[in-house]
Amino acid sequence: MNFTLFVTALLTGLGFVGIVTILAKLLGPRTYNAQKEEPYECGIPTKGRTWMQFRVGYYLFAILFLMFDVETMFLFPWAVVMRSLGPTGLLSVLFFLFILVLGLAYAWRKGALKWQ
C-alpha cells in the first residue's frame, strides 16, 4: 500500500515536471540577440573577466551561514510546543543546541569563520 502510494506520487511529480518543461519549451518566447548573451552582475555590466575564481572560503562561509540559519529555524516549532513536550522536549532542544555549538566551535577552530 505505502509503496504504491510512493510510486504514484513519484510518477505524478515526474509527469507534472515533464509536462510543464515541454509546455515551457513549446510556448515560451524565443528571442535571441547579442545583448541577452552578455553577462550581467546585479543588472550592471561586468568589468574585466567574467569567469574568475573565488576563494573556497567564501563558499564555505555561505554554506555555514545557511546551515546555522536553517538549523535555528527548527527552534521555532519547538518553542511553540515546548510546554506540551515537557522535560523530554527540553532535553532534546538542549541536545540540539549542544550539537549546534559543537559545530560552531569546530568551524571556528578550523578557521572557517575567518573572513580574509
Q: 70-114, pLDDT tens digit by residue?
A: 888 888 888 888 888 889 888 988 998 898 888 888 888 887 777
Checking if the pLDDT of 7 tops 80, the result is: yes
Q: What is the model's pLDDT at position 23?
A: 94
Cell digits of residue 110: 578550523
Cell digits of residue 99: 550539537
Instruction: Tell me what percent of the residues of the chain surpass a pLDDT of 90.
Output: 22
Sign of CA dihedral 104, 107, 113, 114: positive
Round the average pLDDT of the chain to a whole number and report it.
82
Q: Provide the 8-state DSSP code for 49.
A: -
Q: What pLDDT digit, counting tens, does each position of 90-99 carry?
A: 898 899 889 8
CA distance 60 to 97: 21
Does this model's pTM top 0.75? My answer is no
Cell digits of residue 97: 543546541
Checking if the pLDDT of 21 tops 90, the result is: yes
